[in-house]
Structure 1
Amino acid sequence: MSGISQVMDVAQENDHRAPGKAGSVLTGLGKLTGSEFRLMLRDPGIFFVAFFPVVLVLVFGLLPSTSSPSEEFGGGRFIDFYLPPVLTMIIAMMALNALSGVLAAYRERGVLRRLASTPVRPVTLMLAQGLVNMLLLSSVTAVVLLLAGLAFDVPLPRQFFGFVLAFVLCVSAMFALGLLIAALAPTGKAANGIGTVAFFPLAFLAGVWTPGPLMPDVVRRISDFSPLGAGSQAMQAAWSGAFPKPLHLIVLLGFTLVVGFIASRLFRWE
């Protein structure tokens, strides 16, 4: 059964319920979330998102040059500084490709327009997408942290509340950017293309290719004002035991509110 058929079947099952009833909304959200989760698991690209970060941690944890103390990292190890960029990379792939591509494709194929005529509104589908993406993000993050800790003795963030706050704000900022791409892209393929183009400079500023301590000062200053750069540095601060800098949290919150507002104004249901 196609993804469109599954989504529309969920909507049609709720047609007999009175619009606006809390039970109908919750039932529709629950069923759509389950449907979207099953569709996500059938997408080959999701396995790349889930396993590529794990492979990166394994590679850098096993290489002697990246798992041994280095003067470049103040006596620390490369692997100890690389987890925040890896986590931001996972967030970026989910937001810029998975989330934006699916929503743009649903609008292109008329799914959102058809949902608008049922008690299960298009916004319910957006909430379901957000839930399944957040579930996958949380699961992959937990696996990466456990693997790094158990296999390579990488400690958990010492400022755990600061880490959770930075992680959640980074997710919200990037999801807002993903929604903006979905709002502007005419097709699902266009959304994936735009997301891929945006991914590389944002990931560079997050330290995916050049971790923060090795970045030139000018690049680090620029990264302070990018969503992934601010998120990566905020999580790195929490890992070191310090609370994230207010600048980085403000940047993440600003992207969430400003970009999210623009996306909501530009988003078209058909």
Structure 2
Amino acid sequence: MSALFRLTVTETKLFFREPMGVFFALAFPPILLVILGSVPSMRHADPALGGLRVIDLYAPIVVVMAIAMFAVNGLPQLLGTYREKGILRRMRTTPVKPGLVLAAQLLMATALSVSTMVVILAIGRLAFQVHLPSQLAGYVIAYVLAALAMFAIGLLVASVASSGKAAGAIGTVLFFPTMFFAGLWVPRASMPDVLRRISDFTPLGAGVQSLQDAAGGHWPQLLHVAVMLGWVVVAGGLAARYFRWE
């Protein structure tokens, strides 16, 4: 555990040496929430949304965006680069096995994405009166499942990409459709029925709806929990099957 802790600290320090990565992973989601919340129309209750405001719907969307930034943009590119440069291969000859690098990356990404979530919830509450989650346990479960699903997808990308640049490109291509179905451009409540049904079966579509349900005091729906678990099992299994250390 001490080796894992030291390696996590080291990987975190390396992460903070990349200003652009830090900005997009940690600062951009809260800034986006502030920009959206500054639009007056976003703060008006809409009867078509069940009396909710658009900013209420965007808070969980921005939360999952922070997860996606780490999971499909940062993690695959870093692991792909480590494999490409032979870092993982060389570590296999040391007491610190490559698996610890993977564990340290996941631990770092999880901790930082949780920190971003806390900041987003605090900004939403203090600046725009977005209610804190009424069903806290359900919110935590939904967040964990969404994070696990996205990290499993990220590891799958890292396992099949031939290089760090290829992993970054694949992650970028995946980021936009997953965020589209999460409701970044059109909130799920405003989507046509067909798009909303497709969104139900995507990891972030299911994740956003589960977070919204928990924020309103309800448990996540069984369908969405099953969808996120399915992505964890399928993507995680494929990543474990095809992941290459060198």
TM-score when scaled to structure 2?
0.97
SS for the counterpart of 2:218 is coil
Provide Cα deviations, 1:8-45, integer angstroms capped at 9, x if missing partner: xxxxxxxxxxxxxxxxxx23211110100001111122
**What CA distance in whole angstroms lies between the structure 2 residues aligned with 1:74 and 1:268?**
48
Equivalent in the alignment of 2:23: 47
- 100-109 or 57-66, which deviates more: 57-66
Equivalent in the alignment of 2:211: 235
Equivalent in the alignment of 2:152: 176
Q: Which runs of 5 or more structure 1 residues have no equivalent in the other structure? A: 1-25
**What CA distance in whole angstroms lies between the structure 2 residues aligned with 1:50 and 1:83?**
15
Letter in 1 for 2:216: S
Equivalent in the alignment of 1:148: 124
Cα drift, residue 190 of structure 1: 0.6
SS for the counterpart of 2:51 is coil
Cα drift, residue 164 of structure 1: 0.4
Equivalent in the alignment of 2:11: 36
Structure number with bigger Rg: 1
Cα drift, residue 134 of structure 1: 0.7
Equivalent in the alignment of 2:47: 71
SS for the counterpart of 2:31 is helix
- 160-169 or 38-47, which deviates more: 38-47
Equivalent in the alignment of 2:198: 222
What is the CA RMSD across the aligned residues, in angstroms? 0.9
Letter in 2 for 1:92: A
> Does the 8 A contact of 1:226 with 1:251 survive in 2?
yes
Q: Number of aligned pairs?
A: 245
Cα drift, residue 50 of structure 1: 1.1
Provide Cα deviations, 1:167-223, integer angstroms capped at 9, x if missing partner: 000000000000000000011111010000011111000001111110111111011
Equivalent in the alignment of 1:261: 237
% same residue: 49
**What CA distance in whole angstroms lies between the structure 2 residues aligned with 1:61 and 1:127?**
36
Letter in 1 for 2:17: R
**What CA distance in whole angstroms lies between the structure 2 residues aligned with 1:72 and 1:186?**
47
User: Pick from 92, 107, 112: which aligns with 2:68?
Assistant: 92
Equivalent in the alignment of 1:246: 222
Matches within 5 A, 1:158-197: 158-197=134-173
> Does the 8 A contact of 2:30 with 2:62 survive in 1?
no
Cα drift, residue 158 of structure 1: 0.9
TM-score when scaled to structure 1?
0.89
Equivalent in the alignment of 1:27: 2
Runs of 4+ in 1 over 2 A off after TM superposition: none
Letter in 1 for 2:32: L
Letter in 1 for 2:123: L
**What CA distance in whole angstroms lies between the structure 2 residues aligned with 1:27 and 1:90?**
28
Q: Which runs of 5 or more structure 2 residues have no equivalent in the other structure? A: none
> Does the 8 A contact of 1:60 with 1:67 survive in 2?
no
**What CA distance in whole angstroms lies between the structure 1 residues aligned with 2:94 and 2:2?**
13
> Does the 8 A contact of 1:29 with 1:127 survive in 2?
yes
